Every structure is written in structure tokens, then in C-alpha cells.
Amino acid sequence: MARDYKALRDGNKQAQLEEAPRIPGESIKAIAKDVMYICPFSGAVSGTLTITDYKLFFKSLARDPPFILDVNLGAISRLETIGVQNHGENTRGLEIVCKDLRNPRFAYKKEEQSKLQILEMLTRYAFPLSHDLPLFAFLYQEKFPEDGWKVYDPTAEYKRQGLPNESWVISKVNSSYEVCDTYPALLVVPSSISDDDLKKVASFRAKRRFPVLSWIHPESQAAIIRCGQPQVGPSDRRCKEDERYLQTILDANAQSHKLTIFDARQSSVADTNKAKDGGYESESFYPNVELNFLEIPNIHVMRESLRKLKEVVYPAIDEAHWLSAVDATHWLEYIRLLLAGAVRIADRLESGKTSAVVHCSDGWDRTAQLTSLAMLMLDSHYRTLRGFQVLIEKEWLSFGHRFASRVGHGDQNHANSERSPLFVQFIDCVWQMTKQFPSAFEFNELFLITVLDHLYSCLFGTFLYNNELERMLKEVPTKTVSLWSYINSQVEEFTNPFYVAYEHHVLYPLASTRHLELWVNYYVRWNPRMRPQVPVHQSLKELLLLRVELERRVEELRRDASSSSAQPSSATHTTAPMHTTV
């Protein structure tokens, strides 16, 4: 039986009797007593504040059960000194602005040395890279029975897709990351293209991210291809190797005489990029190619949208204007655009039997969102617990989504314009799909929330750094623990009891605003008035246990039926087949 790692997530009963429960490798850096937590929901609470190199832990013993607040330091975006009213003139306040949509506030007497130490330690350990300290993932020493670093084997995943084949090969042209330093070492490319031509195509594409295969349809051989924008510039530069390359991709699919390019950007922005030496494929130079703009705004628009959403959901909710306030953030509109774009890509492969090339500007933000969502719709394997981990490892991590830049792990520069919630949007889109198809996914909502919590936590090495090369140079797989080690050592916590393994079912979610909803259990979970009275996770776990028990009983009945039918009987009788619905 797998060990219970619940202490890691929320502290077990015994651990909560201590001042601050710790995980292996964690050490206490500062403790301050008589600190006031200014709770926006139930008023001020006095207690002890402990800072470790992994978390902030506040505990008030004045209440029974004790009030506890636990914040991963990795989730902190910035620290702000604030004025505090009605707590005495000698009191200073601290607001902790978090990436996970909460802003806890504390008040303390400013002359006490221990309180100054609290601020200093918080600053050092919330932003370790800004203070020449290691990220906590390199200190974490928990051992798990499952090794999450073995979840994704690119060769095995391509083999599952039926690759290599006549038209496509697994190339090692980038094995030393010299052709493209943000791509993985192994890539699937057309079998007829020489390495020299590949390098010429790479020099024509943004960040040298030349077109490579992400997924191939098992029947039609239509493929999802990803890349960066072509660098045509204002003078409409051409690259014969690039034009031939896309024709080769088209030729690899015998069932279609067209190749569809989905440019994720707004067409006006793509024109602006063209003036700056970027651009898009001209249908004049690329015969049999159809270009579509998906009109999805850029990373800065998405960052601003989430900032507005945070103002709506924390700390106070304006009940009278809730729907209009959420609508004004445009968050669900952008979720709709992503889902609608992915549906178009999936349908082009499934119904149109046509290959699709997907890119944005550099091919590591909106491109990752769209390819991974389309693959989730097309391929039921990615809807399993392990298959979804492979999808993240493949389309996001190995293909160089800039997690360090977009999340800002351990970096004090909160105003960096590179920050943007692209991966949060992707997980939100997945959650929307689980709502529309509740039995199609093996994982539950807790799994998605856990993934997002550890996107920020810096507890695991999974989401650290910007690409495969950086993670290899930092020895992440040998020096840190994978998030999937934690997940796969307790799969029952993250399993959907309603899951039915439908193979070869393509999912087309309804991408209209009236079929989408705000993910309250994630974005508004810090507000106690918005929580369900019985945690959903608890109910699902009970249903999962019931399902296991019913399946066991069905199996017993089957065994009994087969053993009785095997015994000789003088009377001949027929039995109707038994159908049991679980």
C-alpha cells in the first residue's frame, strides 16, 4: 500500500500540533509571536508567524480548532509595507501579494527585532534567485515509490503514435541543442528532408523553431505541426527550403491536397510583427496552403485580464455585480477563443483529414495552448492521468514554454513584462472540458488544482526553467523531485470516479460563452463563503471507493457464474447475459 503523503499537502493532525510542520529538507528561518493576521473574512487574528525556506506558516491557538494559514513562498509575487489602521500608532503592516489570487495581510509592532527578521527572511526565501540562493526544489528530500521523471519518454510516445513511418522520422539533428536551443533533443521531421535543409528552414523561422510534428492521426495520417513565425519581414523575404518543407508536410498526408496554417495571433498584430522582421506565410508563395488567424490576444493582454479577475474575486465579492464584473475582465472570452481555436484545429484533422501547422510569434505560448488542447480533444490517451502528464511534459516542457519567464520562479522582479498566466489558461480550458465531458477524463479537479499550485511552489523541479536544455544543464532530473512522483504515488487522490475509458472518441467542447463558467473552486477558493459545505474532493473519494467495491462485487459474481456454469448439471437451462452498470 502506498504511503500517505497527505502531510505534504495540508498537514496531518499530529503535525498541526507543532508550531510549523515541515517536509524533508525544510528548515525554519524566523519565528515571530504576537503577529496579527488581518483576515478579510473573519477579522483580525493574533498568532505566531513562522518563516521557513519553503513556506510562511501562521497559527492562532486562540481558536479551537486553531486557525492556520499556510502559503508557499514560491506563490509570492511581491511584498508591500502598508499602513494599518486601528492597531496602534506603532504598528506596521505587510501585504503579501500572491500569484494564486490571494493577498494575505499581517500587522506587527515595528520596533521588535524578530519582526524585522521576518520581513528580511521572507524577502530572501520568497525570491531566492534574487539573493543567490537555490530554489527550494533543490533542497527538498522527500522519497516517493514512483519516479515521475520516467513518465515521459519521447521515443515511446512517438512509437505509441505509430512513428517513425515512411513519411516521418525521429531526428537527432538537435541532439546537442545546436539547431534550436529551445527545442527538445529528439524531433519528428519529414523523412525526405536533409539536415542541411532543416538548418536553412530553422534560420528562416523565429527563434530557429522550424516546423516539427507534435501528433499524427492514426488513420488519416493528418498531423499537427508546430513552429515559430516565418521571418519574412516588410520586404516579403522568401525561403525556398521553407516552402519546399511545408509542401513535403502536405505530401506526407495522401488524403488531402491542402495544408492549413493556424496563426494564433490577431491579424493586425501579425502585420505589426511583419514590420519588425517577423510575419506569416503568404498564400502566393506557399501553394495549396490556407492561412487562418485565430485572433487570440498576446501575453500582456492575458496578464492584465487575470489582474482584473483577481480584483473581482479577492478579497470581497460584489454580489450585486458579480456577473458583469467577471465579464468585464474578459477572462472567459479568452478561454472561449482558445477552446474555439483548438476545436478548429482538431476538426480540420478529424473531419477534414488535413494537416495543420500551428504557430504564434515564437511558438512557445499560444502555440503550446492550442496544440495541447487539440491533442486532448483528438486523443483519449491524453485524457488519462499519466497521458495528461505526458502531454504537459511534451507540448509544454520539452518544447520550451518559458515557465521561468512566465511565472517568475524565485525572482523579485514582479513587474517583468514577460510574466503571463498562459499555463493557467490552458488548465482552465481543460477544466472547462471536464465540466462538459465529466466521464471522459481519468483525473479529477483536485489534480488540476494541485498542478497549478505546484506551478508556483518551487517544491518540485517539473516546472523550473525555460526549456529542456536549461533543465539538463541545471541537472533538474537528478537533483530535484518530479511533481509526477508525488501524484503517481497516490493516484486514488486524483482519480475521477466517473471515468469511462472511451477509446477513439473525439471531444468537441462547446466554445460559446454561455457554456463556459468561472472556475470558482480555483479562483475563488480563498473566500470561505464560496466553498461547498462538503469538499468536492471528499465526495469524489467516497464515490471512488464505492466504485472499487462495486467492481469487486461484480467480479466475484462473474467468477461465481462461470464456476457454476462449468459444473455438470442434469437440467439444461439458459441464462441471459448479466449487464451491470457501475
Reported as type and span, the H/E element at residue 40 is none
What backbone phi and psi angles, to 5 degrees, belong to 440?
-90, -10
Compute the distance between CA of residue 482 and CA of residue 480 in angstroms, rounded to an integer. Answer: 7
d(CA 322, CA 222): 44
Q: State the pairing for strand pair 105-109/212-216.
A: unpaired
For 122-141, the three-class secondary structure string (H helix, E strand, C coil) is HHHHHCHHHHCCCCHHHCCC
CA–CA dist 449, 451 (Å, integer): 5
- Calculate ∠ Cα 154-158-161, nearest 5°: 150
Q: How far is 108 from 33, CA to CA, in rounded Å?
A: 9
Residue 229 is given by DSSP the state P
Q: What angle do CA 374, 417, 276 make, to 5 degrees?
A: 75
Long-range contacts from 60-66, C-beta under 8 angstroms, 24+ separation? 66/16
Question: DSSP H helical segments within 379-467, as ranges?
Answer: 385-391, 403-407, 422-436, 445-457
Single-letter amino acid code for the residue at 213: L
Q: Which of 180, 360, 429, 458 is catalytic?
A: 360
**CA quadruple 380, 385, 387, 389: dihedral sign:** positive
458 among known catalytic residues: no
Active site residues: 360
